[in-house]
Structure 1
Amino acid sequence: MLPAENSADSLHCVSSSLIELQLQQEYTSHMFIDIQEQFLKKADCIVKVISKEGEMYSLLVDQQKLISDKHVVDTYRVSFDSVVREYHCECNLFQSKAILCCYMFSTFAYFEVNEVPSCYISSRWSKNVR
């Protein structure tokens, strides 16, 4: 699938990801820029499952950064319930700004999730709200 653009005011997707396409179609251009920045940062992340109880996973997501020519790793804990598709990241970006973080995007990729659950699509930033 090629990156898509649906209207003149939409921004291009930079990948072939169905998630990125979903968010590009859902969000205003201004918000999509912020979300796309987090989406792209998932390339710097490594996901490690640290425990599993039933269908609840606890993960550590390491994000590699280069700050002033120094390699730094930020680590955040993400929990994921594979039955109800609920996620929580300790960075709390979604809770504070309604933006999915790179750690959650990394978790989606790890578990081969191709669509953001509707509970993580904020109607506040949607261009499809009527």
Structure 2
Amino acid sequence: YGHESPMDAHMLTTSITAEKALVGIDIFLDWTDANRDPQVLGKLLESSVNTEDLKLLSITNRSKSVYPGETHAAFFVDQWRCRFESVDGGAVTHQQILELLQRFDMAGLDFIKTEHLYTFDGKPGYSAIAGE
């Protein structure tokens, strides 16, 4: 100690840039209504929350896809991930995301977390849901 020279800590930079596009959002809910029936939640989201620009793609619970499609009897926890993506596969704006969140609020749904879904050079920068 005391005889070594200090470490040379240069910041690495890159000149590579990717085209980044916001294409959807995962909205996590705390939801226990209707005996935690994902079919009830899915229909509620489709009828009350979907917008012109963002539509419900799927719902997961404990990392398993539970909507759309048939759900076999399972133990569901209170936290649900609801994935919304742009209707045309294109980019959406933060204003459109805010409109979607406002609809969750107006429907009385308790959203507890959100994660924006981005593509980079047209490739998803987020995890696919099992079966996608």
Flag whether TM exceeds 0.5 (same fold).
Answer: no
Q: Select the structure that is richer in strand.
A: 2
TM-score normalised by length of structure 2: 0.27
TM-score normalised by length of structure 1: 0.28
- Higher RCO structure, 1 or 2 (CA under 8 Å, sep 6+): 2
